[in-house]
Amino acid sequence: MNQKITIAINREYGSGGRRVGEMLAEQLGLHYYDKEILKLAADDSGINEALFNKARDQFRKLTPLRPVRSAADDKLIPPESSDFTSDRNLFNYQAKTIRELCDTRSCIIVGRCACFILRDRPNVVRVFMHAPKAYRLEQAAKMKSLPPKELEKFVDKTNRQRREYSEFYTGEKWDDAHNYDLCLDASKLGYEKCVQIIKGYMKVRFDGLEF
């Protein structure tokens, strides 16, 4: 692309958000970031990557489910502090990594609250992928070999964790359309058409953009 643009994708489990992100990365020749964000944040901070991987589970056990952040709450805690490896500091290092990626290259970022972290950047397209539950269960069955009831529990739990983690750290409703540029129902469009719509939106919004 002839402009630096970040596409940030939030998604319900089973809606194809990850696959759409991968397809966009392939077609546009961009790097795709998901869990790689954690490794980059660990390298930057010197904090063990395993702590970043556990952060989602830890925040629900150690803190009440109410938002802890404000728009300006991005201060990094120094290594000498006892709170250096706190969940909040881990989140802030992830946020720092995401901002630096947005500033230096075009890329696709899936999850990690990137839609919130980059909400004020003019070069960011924020997408929410969703679908009816029946469709999400159908897609999940292709990835997880579980009995139907266990699969439904897994999908519900995963989406509940994504919602709680996002709303805890952002103070915003995870699935509120006001927080996104595009909200796409994969069950009506299919993955390829979702990709086409995102690319079409980018061309209209960023005048002169070339792929």
Indicate the pairing of strand 182-185 with strand 107-110.
unpaired
Q: How far is CA 79 from the centre of its chain?
A: 27
* Residue 9: predicted pLDDT: 98
Number of H helices, E strands in the chain: 8, 5
Average pLDDT of every residue of the chain: 90
Q: What is the pLDDT of residues 55-109, one digit of tens each?
A: 766 655 545 555 555 444 578 988 988 889 888 889 999 999 999 999 999 999 9
pTM of the model: 0.91
Looking at residue 177, what DSSP letter applies? Answer: G
| Distance, CA of 166 to CA of 51 (rounded, Å) | 18
Instruction: Give pLDDT, residue 71.
Output: 40
What CA–CA distance (Å, rounded) separates 17 from 143?
14
- pLDDT tops 50 at residue 192: yes
Q: What is the mean pLDDT of residues 185-203?
A: 97
pLDDT of residue 69: 53
CATH superfamily of 6-201: P-loop containing nucleotide triphosphate hydrolases (3.40.50.300)
Burial class (CB in 10 A: 0-12, 13-18, 19+), 42: buried
pLDDT of residue 78: 86
Say how many C-beta atoms besides its own lie within 10 A of residue 187's C-beta. Answer: 17
Record the tokens describing residue 100, joined without a space: 């630096």
Tell me the domain boundaries of the chain: 6-201
Q: What is the pLDDT of residue 72?
A: 41
Residue 137, pLDDT above cutoff 70: yes
